[in-house]
Chains A and B, each alone.
Chain A
Amino acid sequence: SAVISQKPSRDICQRGTSLTIQCQVDSQVTMMFWYRQQPGQSLTLIATANQGSEATYESGFVIDKFPISRPNLTFSTLTVSNMSPEDSSIYLCSVEKGGNTEAFFGQGTRLTVV
């Protein structure tokens, strides 16, 4: 298994500002992912955080808006930049310890932009 610590758990932010979300795993993992879950909706993959290289973004998500860092095999950050109310959502990090195995999720960051 994997224990994931994600913080902050929630925040209320002013529009136009940025928020950085941290994800710390208790062991080294190859794959780390960032998801967005809007209220009552499914999980939408934002990007795959690659250690030692740039993140791979899904269609509709861009690096300027959601810059990601992955400095080592246990840590990643997602920044939500120049926020607007439409960015209000839950952001989740997820890790997988090997190919075709279970994905574990952090507890999520509930972001409200006012």
Chain B
Amino acid sequence: GENVEQHPSTLSVQEGDSAVIKCTYSDSASNYFPWYKQELGKRPQLIIDIRSNVGEKKDQRIAVTLNKTAKHFSLHITETQPEDSAVYFCAARPTGKLIFGQGTTLQVKP
């Protein structure tokens, strides 16, 4: 079955710096790759997603890139702000269900 590996597990950056989180997946049938943000004690919420027919997608300070050949995708957050501090999960969908990465705890220091 699908296996999603996410790195790093923790990431600390200064406010205004960029943050990059990387994920790899194993199942070439995966065709949908969302990123979720989970604040402490809250439910995961989608921040951006990308489908396999697209290589890059951007939404304001957030961008996701996908390399299907290498089976990896990355989340890029620019001009980080303290409110970006949270746990971020990548996921991949091979057939009908989402498989999540292990999560990255992002800390943005003011």
Contacts and interface: CB of A to CB of B under 8 A. Distances in A.
Interface of A: 31, 33, 41-45, 48, 59, 92, 94, 99-100, 102-103, 105-108
Contacts of B45: 105
B44 A100 contact: no
Given A100-B51, A102-B46, A103-B46, A42 B100 contact: yes
Contact of A45 (B44, B46, B49, B99): B99
A43 B89 contact: yes
Range, interface on chain B = 20 to 34
Interface of B: 1, 31-32, 34, 42-46, 49, 51, 89, 93, 96-103
Contacts of B99: 45
B44 A105 contact: yes
B43 A45 contact: no
A41 B46 contact: no
B43 A105 contact: yes
A105 B43 CA distance: 6
Given A43-B44, A106-B43, A108-B43, A100 B93 contact: yes
6 contacts: A45-B99, A48-B97, A100-B32, A103-B46, A105-B45, A107-B43
